[in-house]
Structure 1
Amino acid sequence: MEIILHLGAHRTASTSFQHYMHANRKVLAARGIGYWGPDVTRDGILTGVIPVAGRSSVTEQLHRARGRIALRLRKAEAAGLCQLVVSDENMIGAPRRNLRGSRLYGDIGDRMARFANAFDGRISRVAISVRGQDAWWSSAMAFAVGRGHRVPGPDDLDRLVTVNRHWRDVITDLACAMGGPEIIVLPHEVYAGLPDEKLRQMTGIDSPPRKAARDWLNRAPDLAELRKLVTARGGDDARLGEGTGRWRPFDRYQTLALQEAYSDDLFWLGAGADGLARLTEETGPVKAGQNPPIGQTTRGHPNDEEERRLA
């Protein structure tokens, strides 16, 4: 049985993909494709892969997690499944940690090495979505502010631009941690509203089901929503800046710098990613680049339940 991990990332329509997979779970099972989403991964089966303080030793926690996973995998194989898609973006970390450290998934290597161990080296393929850094950080900050975090200041924004860690570094760390599995990279700008096409790229399925394929969940709050939320808790909504629609906290020069960094990431991926990963940019008859994001001014593709513990 092939085991395929879908790692998000956060703010790349992961919840929409999981909603799609859940809605089609029975149909997919009949075609030999099983699915573990957050309702499974956060209900105890993965507890201990990332050690929990105050419990047994780190080694014992991982050993018990390996046993639970192996038992569940045997049941999946006994049910006749040929492929299993495991989708949980929290495997690679949490956006709040990225924001605190001003770094994209700085501990993805350590975390994913533990998951590779927990699945006993049986992972066949890993899928991860990337998104333009200007849009990714903006979405992550909007989501965080909407949930009560403070509005970031100029120094916070500067750090996000100047810290030299981008998707290339994330994918390199991921590949080093995982070892052998194929890594496929799905640009958010291509696949955001196409969970069925994501599934096709992950599994090779012909004619994936269409039910719930165009549902869009867990959007980041826009400026109007953020102003209401910040004001309601006694904050200064003027710190959000002017404008309407999507919150764009970065200034023009910061935005250009982040877009250029993403263009470099995509160029590296398109050139083969040093043999570490494969960039997928075609969705059947639709090709990447036909509809560039609003505000794109540089070459390339500049530019989403979230932080519950895996338990």
Structure 2
Amino acid sequence: MDVILHLGAHRTATTGFQDYMRRHKAPLAEQHVGFWGPGRTRRGLFSGIIPGPVAARGRDLRTRGEGRVQLRLKGARLRGVKTLVVSDENMLGAVRENLCEGSLYPSAGERMARFARAFDGEISGLLLSVRSLELWWCSALAFGVSRGHPLPMRNKLAMIAGSQRGWRDVITDVACAVPGVPIRVMPFESFAGRADIFLARGTGIDAPPDNDRQWLNRAPGLPDLRRVLTERGTEAAELPFGMGRWNPFSNEQHAALREVYADDIMWLTAGADGLATLTEDRIRTRAGTTPPAGSDKKGQPDEHEERQVARPG
């Protein structure tokens, strides 16, 4: 049985892909394709693999977690599954960790080493979606604020923009943690809102067409953030005027993040030192990113360059 881990990342249309896999469970099962998504992995399956803040006394939670994964893998094989797709972006880390550390998945290597042990050498391939860093961080920050994080201080924005850690570093950490396993990198700019094409190009599966494409869990735009902050009684006036995407970075910071991503793509295009394979959709790249039908309500918000003066600090 081939086991393919889809690592996300967050803010790269991962929720839409998971929704597609659930909606097409029946036709995929006819091809002996199984799927584990967050509905399974976050309801106890992965418990103990990554240590929590407090370990239970007298219980080896990690060993129990690894055993649980092995039992579920055995069950999938007995049911005749030939290809198992496991999709959970939290395997790489959490958005809140990135925001608190001001760094892109700083613990990705350590976390993936634990998952490699849990799957006990049965991982056949890894899929990773990447996104231009200035847009990724804008989306992550907006998501974080909507979930309770404060508006970022100037020093935090400077830390993020000044960090040289990009997708190349994340990929290198993952490759070291899961040596010998092929890593296929799928740019958000090529595959966003096209889960069927993503599955086909990423796994070789004859993916059923998606006739109800939706971009889910999109980043909140400025009106949504104003509402959230007003309800919390904080800081809404510090957001800029406008209706589009929130961009808290200065022009210089925006350019610095974009440059790191350009270097990442150049490295991937040149072969990624043999660590990963870049997969692009040339037709999509030439034509530009076109949102799926109905995305004005369910897709990514307009990418207007709305800016704000960050909070001092």
TM-score, length basis structure 1: 0.89
The 3-state SS of whatever aligns with 1:288 is helix
Is the Cα–Cα contact under 8 Å of residues 102 and 160 in structure 2 kept in the other structure? yes
1:148 & 1:64 partners in 2: Cα distance? 33
How many angstroms does 1:95 deviate by?
A: 0.7
Q: Which has the higher contact order (CA 8 A, sep 6+)?
A: 1
C-alpha displacement of 1:241: 2.1
The alignment partner of 1:226 has SS state of helix
- Structure 2 counterpart of 1:229, one-letter code: V
Runs of 5+ consecutive residues of structure 2 not aligned to the other structure: 291-301, 305-313
Q: Which residue of 1 aligns with 2:217?
A: 218
Q: Does the Cα contact within 8 Å between 2:186 and 2:202 map onto a contact in 1?
A: no
TM-score by length of 2: 0.89
> Distance in 1 between the 2:237 and 2:286 partners?
36
Q: C-alpha separation between the residues in 2 aligned to 1:228 and 1:16?
A: 25
Deviations 1:196-228 (A, max 9, x none): 11111232012x112465111101110011111
Contact 1:19/1:212 (<8 A) preserved = no
Number of residues paired by the alignment?
293
Asked if the contact 2:196–2:210 (Cα under 8 Å) also holds between the matched residues in 1, the reply is: no
Q: Which AA in structure 1 matches 2:117?
A: N
The aligned counterpart of 1:112 is: 112
The alpha carbon displacement at 1:50 in A equals: 0.6
CA contact (8 A) 2:36 2:86 kept: yes
How far is 1:244 from its partner?
A: 2.4
In structure 1, the residue matched to 2:235 is 236
Letter in 2 for 1:3: V
Partners of 2:58 and 2:184 in 1: CA distance: 34
Task: Give the secondary structure class of the aligned counterpart of 2:72.
Answer: helix
Partners of 1:114 and 1:54 lie apart in 2 by: 16
Q: What is the alpha-carbon distance in structure 2 between the residues aligned to residue 21 and residue 39 of structure 1?
A: 12
Q: Are positions 1:79 and 2:79 aligned together?
A: yes
Q: Deviations over 1:88-121 (max 9, x none)?
A: 0011110110011010000000000000000001
* Distance across 2 between alignment mates of 1:202 and 1:105: 22
SS of the counterpart of 2:184?
A: strand
2:266 & 2:10 partners in 1: Cα distance? 22
Aligned-residue CA RMSD (Å): 2.0
Aligned to 2:142: 142
8 Å Cα contact 1:32/1:80 also seen in 2: yes
- When residues 213 and 122 of structure 1 are mapped into structure 2, their CA distance, relative to the original with a 3 A threshold, is farther
Amino acid at match of 1:91: M
Q: Which residue of 1 aligns with 2:174?
A: 174
| C-alpha distance in structure 2 between counterparts of 1:118 and 1:213, whole Å | 35
Long gaps (5+) in structure 1: 297-311
Residues in 2 aligned to 1:237 and 1:48: alpha-carbon distance in whole angstroms: 39
